[in-house]
Amino acid sequence: MAGERTLGDRIWYKRWPPQVPKCLHYPDYGLGDFLRQAVSKYGSGMAVSFLHSSITYDQLWELVMSLAAGLSRIGLKKGDVCAVMLPNSHQYVICYYACHLLGVTVTAINPTYKALEIQHQLKDSGARALIVLDAVYNEAERGLQGSEVQHVISTNVVDLCGFSPLKRWLGKLIKKIPSAKTPSDVLSFTKILHGTTSSPPTVRIDPSEEIAVLQYTGGTTGLPKGAMLTHRNVIANALQCEAWLWKRRPGMGIIGVLPLFHSYAMTTVMNAAIRLGGFQLLLPRPPSDMTELFKLIEKYGPGHGFIMPGVSVLFNKINNHPRAGDFDLSSLIMAVSGAGPLPLDVQDQFEKITGAIIVEGYGLSEASPVTHANPMVEELRKQGTIGLPYPDTDIKIMDGIEGTREIPPLPFSVAKTGGLTPEQSREADAYTGELVVKGPQVMKGYLNRPEETALALRDGWLYTGDMACMDAEGFTIIRDRAKDMIKFKGYPVFPAEVEDLLHRHPHIQGAAVIGVPDQEMGERVKAFVVLDPDKRGQVSAEDIIRWARDKITHYKIPSVIEFRDNLPTTMVGKVLRRALKEKKDTLGDDKPEE
């Protein structure tokens, strides 16, 4: 391993935005006090807006305190794990901070998960409680089997929106408000919230050691595992975002289209908004009609301004909407695109339509998640790169074989637009290796997985599994996703997990899953399937997709299935996904209907 570098060795300081400090001070407290500090500064300001219902910082604090007291009363205590299976909502934010006030670790579960996925996360995390949306309770109930969960708490999505009983009844009747009945032994969120007048216990938090969030991710290998993010990790990343978004102004809103159960939105929407003293404009799900989002921007944007974290698919939908020009989107000031590449045409068109500056960034769950972003300065950014490391974040490019030799930067700088040219790309091959990062946002390790932790974390450096190179001015260019994780509309899909499911099909002998490029979706999930010899020609792609629909989240289901007589393997029988990816006709001919 190369020795520690000095400040002068950090070549990315050559084009460092002058508005951003290179080093920050990180407070010595946990996420409960992180919110408390914001409340003391911005008490009467709007904190969260959801379904046209808003709460101030003072109101948010009262709700957080009440829920923390209620959770304590039913037995949750420091060191326990609470699973939160909710969409973006008032309740999500309240649950998140109430748990942290008690020193309870949060593990967020995607509300669209199926029973097997829920069961894996509950059992692996050791969760003692589950807070779940009533509309998805039936699936969650099946996932409880074999877990250590002692308390299940349910809530309806509009519980804290102030809707009248009539409006709630009508909304449920016409299915505008999703809901479902829960058994009598399931606790009521609102009753726990309002069931005590006592204060929660005072808990001391060691922010550098104690786990705030178990963020489930595929990591560098295998099925989803819990990245242990400390209070310091998560708070540090929020402060790093605050520093990078130097165009911020008091009371700005951050648009929460991204799901808060994903680390990207946890930091760039929820925690960043709290740090900035702005408000979160939360949507319960990505809008099917973008005019819904446009109307919210028009309503809440004037006088505040918006920051919009997103993914390229979302920004492209805005660009291509036929009515985008009918709305005033000028309150969009900044946007950050992550979870995959940002095409140049999408970036340029978005800026023309909105007048906002949009930059590409990069992160991974193991880093809370953001490690890089392009400068919020048009003259300094480089389109086609993931930008520069965040404050206090160091990076290296290490050889991709042993990971022990540092590879130098490219002997040239890439242009402001376009990234590597074809000629530069060939030269860059010799300077490409694995991107490794170090900083206050890097996880403590994977829960109960010492071997995988040792592979990912070496001498404090996080080996990302992504292949990259660095130009002569310190801008990082992702060359390939060494991890086989697929990005579908920005959502991560882990091939091993999908393969594991497919292998449970009674007639599937072998399966391999890869991502294939798609202009609208980012990547599609493609499965190569080997059927039992006596079933070949009798089981169709549609049959397999239909079988998978109630067993795995919709976006993980392969949309393309190619049948094979066999799969390419190594000497020891490991499937060579790389060989499948290199096949030119990757999409194949067997494309079932969407």
pLDDT at 170: 64
Among 30-34, 261-265, 570-574, the least confident range: 570-574
Query: Which of 348, 267, 321, 339 lies closest to 521, judged by CA?
Result: 339
Find which of 7-16, 126-135, 170-179, 465-474 is predicted with most confidence, using mean pLDDT. Answer: 126-135
Q: What is the 3-state secondary structure (H, E, C) of 321-363?
A: CCCHHHCCCCCEEEEEECCCCCCHHHHHHHHHHHCCEEEEEEE
Q: What is the pLDDT of residue 364?
A: 93
**Which pair of tokens denotes residue 558?**
């392969």
Taking residues 324-343, report their average pLDDT.
89
Facing residues of 526 across strands?
514, 560
Is the pLDDT at 588 greater than 50, yes or no?
Answer: no
Residue 569 falls inside a structural domain: yes
Average pLDDT, stretch 90-105?
A: 98
What 3-state DSSP class applies to 463?
Answer: strand
* Separation between Cα atoms, residue 229 and residue 372, nearest integer Å: 18
The larger pLDDT score, comparing residue 546 to residue 171, is at: 546
Q: What's the whole-number mean pLDDT along residues 347-360?
A: 93
Q: Is the pLDDT reported for residue 281 higher than 90?
A: yes
Sheet holding 211-217, edge to edge: 187-188, 151-155, 129-133, 81-85, 105-108, 211-217, 225-230, 445-446
Query: For the chain, first and last CA: distance in Å?
Result: 49
**pLDDT for 584:** 41
- Residue at 288 is within a domain: no
pLDDT at 571 over 50: no
CATH number of the domain encompassing residue 571:
3.30.300.30
Average pLDDT, the chain: 88
User: Does residue 536 sit within a domain?
Assistant: yes
The DSSP result for 368-392, as a single string, is SSEEEE--S-TTT--TTS-BEEPTT
Give the Cα separation of 216 and 107 in Å (integer).
Answer: 8
pLDDT at 173: 59
Q: How confident is the model at residue 41 (pLDDT cuts 50, 70, 90)?
A: very high
Percentage of residues in the chain having pLDDT higher than 70: 91
How many whole angstroms separate alpha carbon 97 and alpha carbon 45? Answer: 18
pLDDT of residue 573: 45
Higher pLDDT, 499 or 540: 540
- pTM > 0.85: no
Residue at a domain's end among 204, 239, 270: 204
Does residue 462 sit within a domain? no
- Tens digit of each residue's pLDDT (9 = 90 or more) over 181-223: 899 999 999 999 988 778 899 999 999 999 999 999 875 455 7
Is the pLDDT score of 72 beyond 80? yes
Q: Which of 29-43, 134-148, 511-525 has the lowest mean pLDDT?
A: 511-525
Give the domain-ending residue among 146, 178, 204.
204
Look at residue 572 in the predicted model and tell me its pLDDT. Answer: 39
Q: What tens digit of pLDDT does each residue of 1-29 get? A: 344 555 557 999 989 999 999 999 999 99
Q: Which residue has the higher pLDDT, 517 or 444?
A: 444
Residue where a domain terminates, one of 204, 238, 267: 204
Question: What share of the chain in percent tops pLDDT 90?
Answer: 64
Domain of 133 in residue numbering reads as 31-204
Residue 304 lies in a domain: no
Confidence of residue 481 (pLDDT cuts 50, 70, 90): low
Q: What pLDDT is recorded for position 214?
A: 98
Phi–psi pair at 396, nearest 5 degrees:
-145, 160
Q: CA-CA distance, 235 to 32, in Å (whole number)?
A: 11
CA 489/CA 338 separation, integer angstroms: 11
State the CATH number of the domain containing residue 87.
3.40.50.980
Query: How many C-alpha atoms does 266 have within 13 Å on its Cβ side?
Result: 33
**pLDDT score for 581:** 79
Residue 323 lies in a domain: no
418 lies in some domain: no
Judge whether 502 lies within some domain.
yes
pLDDT, residue 161, reads 84
How many structural domains does the chain have? 2
